[in-house]
Every structure is written in C-alpha cells, then in structure tokens.
Structure 1
C-alpha cells in the first residue's frame, strides 16, 4: 500500500511540474505579446530604465551611470528594475524603482527610450524600435565568454541554445561599453556583436579614483564593523561551471584554509569574503568571528575594493578593477589546470602575465601575504604592463564619457 501511495504521489508531483511548465509557457507568450503591443505606443523619450545583475543589485556600471545622470542630467527620468526579493535594498537607498516583471515594469520597459543593464535579458525578450539598449557588461574577460566557450557545462540548456540566445540578445544591443581595446575585440567575436562599441573605461571604476581617501575608507570600515587597526584582505573568487545546483545557482567549495590563515595572520589582518552573485551556497563563518566576514550580500563590491589592502582572487574579472588601486594581488588558483584546459580556458597567457603571484595552496597564500610586509616589497614585474593594457582608460571620468556619447552627442543622434 505504501509503495502504491508513493507512486500516486510521484505521478501527482510530475503532473504538477508539467502543469507549471505549461503555465509558464502560456504566461510567457501572453507577456511577450503584451510587451510588443505596448511597444507600439509612443516612446517616453526622457525615460531611462536601469538594471544590474537581474535586478538583484544596485551596483556596477549601471549604478555609476545612474549616479552621474542623477547629478548632471536632470531632464531624464531614471528608474531601476528591482527583483522582488531585493526591493528593500532600493528602498534603503531611496532609489526610484519598479518591481521586475510587474505590470508597471512592463509598461515602463516597453515605452522607455533607454535601457541600461550589465547582463543579458531572458531569451523571450524583445525590444521596441524606439528603445536604445545600452549594454555595459560587467568585466574585462580573462576566461572565455559567450560563443567562445568550448566546454559547455551550464545546466538547463544546451550549448547550441545558449549560444543562439546570447547572439539573439546581443542583436538587440545598440551600444556596448568596453573598458579597453583588448576587450573590444573579444566582445565583438564572443558576443556576435557588430554595432557600436565605446571604449571609455568602466564607469564603475570612477569611484575607485574619486573616493580613494582615508576619510571615506574609515567610514566604510565603520559601517562594515571592521577593526580600524588591522589590514583587510578581500577574497573574491569566481564560480565554477561544473559546480551547480541548477541554472544560475552554483555552489562553491571553499579551498582557502581559514583556520591556518587565522593562526598566522589574525594579529594584523581580517579577511572579508565576497562570493560571485551566481553562487547560491551560504558561508558559515561563525567559527571565525572577528577574523573572517562574509560580505557576499554587500550591495556593491566597489566599497570592498576601497577598504581592502590586498586582493586574493582566482580567475574573476575583479582583479582588472582592483588594479586601478595599485595594491597587491595574489591569485589562489588551486585548480588552474582544470580551469584552463577543461572548464573555461583563458584569453591570454595568465600564468606568465598575471599582475601578482599565482599560488595553489593556503600556505603559499600566507607566504605571499607576508611578503607584502617587507620594506622593499615591489609589485609583480608584470604590473605596469598590465596596468597600461587594461586600465589606461580609467581615471575617474568614464561615466561622463559614456553619458555624453550616448545621450547627448551628434554621433548618437545619427546612429540611433
């Protein structure tokens, strides 16, 4: 009897899943049709819609552009798209927002003259003819992107479908921001993109030049509850394509031995951890209270960069941004052979060109940290060449460049 009952429950569960899939399919079709219909209405020429990381953050390049426009472009109406679970963040900052996928969002997005976002929209999305889609993206690429990915491991879709959807979305972009010439070439190929690219530097890094002052750093450390008399190490690794729960939800296995780091560094340092936004697993750092802090949910990593004396990362694009501060970087690449040869692969000779030491063990991380304390410490011999290649366009005015080119220039009027 129990087995039969279990079978019935299983069949009922499967039927429920099938019904939900059909409901989503029908809803998506109706929603898409409404979006296109509303897009036939006259454009709201002064409306700019912003979104960062699927509405989960108030951050990155869209935030920098928004903040510049808020101060300097009063004729525009600036509204954010917010994921329902993260609305409190926008309320905290007093940011005008609309709930993502709500009816109000549907009306605003379909009539907006401008969209500004740093990630792709869903595959079913479409753009009205009157809308200018400004894609800022979210990092200088070390690891392979888009159609350049050779070993496809992302769950929930096939390699062919993923690449097709990527090119479909990039086909809607009217303008793409590039932080440097190196990235421009990769973006064109990997995104299948052939329209306007603006090499302006990344707007999000303006903050690292404008706010890099002792008083600002002190206030952020106080807000974060960090001791003022200790140096800060930021550990910000990326996600692994083969470690997933489901599509857009990944786990992360912490290979950095916090016990060993605490034993040897706690007198002079604290460690703050910032996981990638796709990593769904939560860190339990209760054992390391006072030494290790989880700031994965902190609204914008730019403030964490500013208060950090040293960065530990792996293959994440964070090191391209952090380099603007000219502070030491250590690359904890415990799985570099697998990542390079199977998971993603690199666009340049990372092992010989990285702007800091590449290490594979926590003990080597600690030694590299301690070396920065030497009076005669010098950054990696690769650093200056790295800075010139990847950071030369950034100096605090990238947001201004983007806004003037997209919203005010004669070139924009002709292209759009």
Structure 2
C-alpha cells in the first residue's frame, strides 16, 4: 500500500488504549511523516498525548476525520456513519479472544443494533486475530471473508517487553500502592441488558466490604468495569480500593501492576495469561450467562486455568493461598497459554506494521 499521510485511531469509542495505542506509539517512535488523529471521549482528553490531534467521537467532526483518512485503526466498532474514501484502508484490531458470543452469534441484541454495527464491518479491510480459536469464531460471527492476520495482539507486547518491570513500578506508584502490597485486579465483563439500558444500576458482583474486612490490610483491589458500563459503578472510597474503570485508560497498565486477576467471562483472561500470574473466576451467574444472557463458544470451565468460584467467601479463601493455587493449576494454566497465547511474544506490533508496509 502507499504510505498514508493521515491515520485516524479509535479505541473503545474514545480511549487512549488497546492495540491502536501500541501501534500508534511504535509508529510515533519510528516515523515523523504521518499525521495522527485520535477519536476521543471528551472526559478523557487529559489522558491523551498533548501533541496529537483530538476529535470528539460520535460527532460530525469524527465522520469528517474518518472520511479524510488514508488509514483507520479501531479496536471495536466505530459507531458513526461515514464513507471510506477510495484507496483508504481500515484495520480492525478487535479487542479480545471470544469466549462469549459476539455479533451475529449472540443470543439477543436490541432491534436493529447488529445491522447498524454490520455497516461498520463492511468497511473493514483487515481483521487482526490473536490465535486460531479467535480466527475461527471472529470470522464466523462477523461473516468475515476478507483479509485476516493472525498476529497476536499488539496491546499485549508490553507484557513481554523489557520495560514491563519499569511500567509496573510506574503504574503502582501512580495509583499510590506501597511496595509489598498484593494487588488484585477485578475485571469482569458486562451483562447485555445493563450495557444497552443506561438507566439500569450496574452492581459490583463482589462484596467489597467483605474484601476490605478480610484482606484490606495488605491487599489493594483494583476495580475495572467493562467499557460498556464504565463509570456506572458507585463505590465508597477506601485505602484498599481503587476504581480504575476510566483511568488509567489502558488495561495493560493494570495487567502490569497487578499480582492476581479475578474475572468472570471477560476476554481479559486470555490477555492476562501472558503474565503467567494467578487467574481466578468469580462466576455466580455462570449458567444464566451461558444459556440466556449471551452464550459461550467453548466449555472452558472443566479445564479452566484457575478456580471457578461462586461467592465472595470462596474467592477470599482462594486469595489467601495463591502459591497453593499456582501449584494446583500449573498444568491447566500451561495448556491454556499454549492454546490461546501462541503469538504473544512481544512482537505483534511490528508484525502488523510490517504487514501494512509501515515499517521496514
């Protein structure tokens, strides 16, 4: 492809994060002949570099920026109507290995929603995939017959990079976490009804007071809501608690900072596995989610790389003996990593940029 002059970047409708961020930072370090435009949520403008052009997402200005772009990168659907100019290339990095069903495979979506999102799919030129499982089900869900690059995820390169330890220290310091503190990252997925109906309360499915009582002296809990419901958890302030749903904007920073992750059905589990650190599941609504709410592509649970827990009390018991858990689940964890992280070697960013002719 011809070298583009204008690149528009979009991550989760306006964050400075995910694979678009990793690709952008690599290009900025290597080339100074490109004009970069980021789509932004206005409340997150302060999290972006000061020397980049920002355009508010989901606005006529965003549509005009996209229509003038030579190259577009996005980590999810761009939900604004625009017409791709002739010769432009749209790279969809996507944002996770699918455990729960997506797009045309979901059990339910608001009327007309999938048709709206599918108009964005029709603009894509290249779809990235992290592993063979994702390749199979992303192509199925999007009915994708275009070009696909199974590259690994650029966003995960930092987890294998030489700067990982330095970034870990930087993030923990920025969050005010003392050395020696055990950091627990709680990063569940969203429930479809809560995401689509913004009038609904979004509960935290972990009993925070019990966590504080049991582990608050030497643990810090990081709460990371899914992008679809970020900003809708209402939690009290505590020394042992940080709501990091909006900042830092990039969940990779939290992967670096944390010692253990708790999730449910989120694709964060596959990225977290790159770290090799303990992974626990708090899945109180497992049957409901799998059969009614969304549905799964695979029955992960009999061979899960960590314990599948049904209550906060079970979770607290598990967190008290992480070395024992690591030993108990070592073989399952190794098999999980072999299956779902085969390309996560710290070089996915360069593979993608070289494929596009953007790096030599």
Per the normalisation by structure 2, the TM-score is 0.92
Quote how far apart the aligned CAs of 1:197 are. 0.4
The verdict on how the C-alpha distance between 1:72 and 1:409 changes in structure 2, with shifts beyond 3 A counting, is closer
Q: Is the 8 A contact 2:22 2:349 kept in 1?
A: yes
Instruction: Determine helix, strand or coil for the equivalent of 2:86.
Output: coil
Partners of 1:376 and 1:206 in 2: CA distance: 24
CA RMSD of aligned residues (A): 2.4
Partners of 2:241 and 2:253 in 1: CA distance: 17
Partners of 2:129 and 2:54 in 1: CA distance: 27
Residue 144 in structure 1 maps to residue 101 in structure 2: yes
Superposed counterparts of 1:66-81, under 5 Å: 66-81=24-39
Partners of 1:261 and 1:99 in 2: CA distance: 38
Q: Is the 8 A contact 1:357 1:380 kept in 2?
A: no
Q: Which has the higher helix share?
A: 1
Quote how far apart the aligned CAs of 1:251 are. 4.0
Partners of 1:215 and 1:174 in 2: CA distance: 36
- Map of 2:193 onto structure 1: 242
Counterpart among 358, 361, 383 of residue 333 in structure 2: 383
Partners of 2:325 and 2:355 in 1: CA distance: 45
**Structure of greater Rg:** 1
Counterpart among 155, 163, 171 of residue 204 in structure 1: 155
What is the number of residues matched between the two proteins?
A: 357
Gaps of 5+ in 1: 1-42, 411-416
Partners of 1:260 and 1:142 in 2: CA distance: 29
Superposed counterparts of 1:311-350, under 5 Å: 311-350=261-300
The verdict on how the C-alpha distance between 1:124 and 1:112 changes in structure 2, with shifts beyond 3 A counting, is closer
Counterpart among 311, 330, 339 of residue 361 in structure 1: 311
Higher RCO structure, 1 or 2 (CA under 8 Å, sep 6+): 2
Instruction: Determine helix, strand or coil for the equivalent of 1:184.
Output: helix
Per the normalisation by structure 1, the TM-score is 0.80
Q: Deviations over 1:8-56 (max 9, x none)?
A: xxxxxxxxxxxxxxxxxxxxxxxxxxxxxxxxxxx9931111111112x
- Map of 2:250 onto structure 1: 300
Quote how far apart the aligned CAs of 1:163 are. 2.8
- Map of 1:40 onto structure 2: none
Partners of 1:71 and 1:44 in 2: CA distance: 16
Residue 88 in structure 1 maps to residue 46 in structure 2: yes
4+ aligned runs moved over 6 Å, structure 1: none
- Map of 2:145 onto structure 1: 194
Q: Is the 8 A contact 1:285 1:294 kept in 2?
A: no
Residue 65 in structure 1 maps to residue 26 in structure 2: no
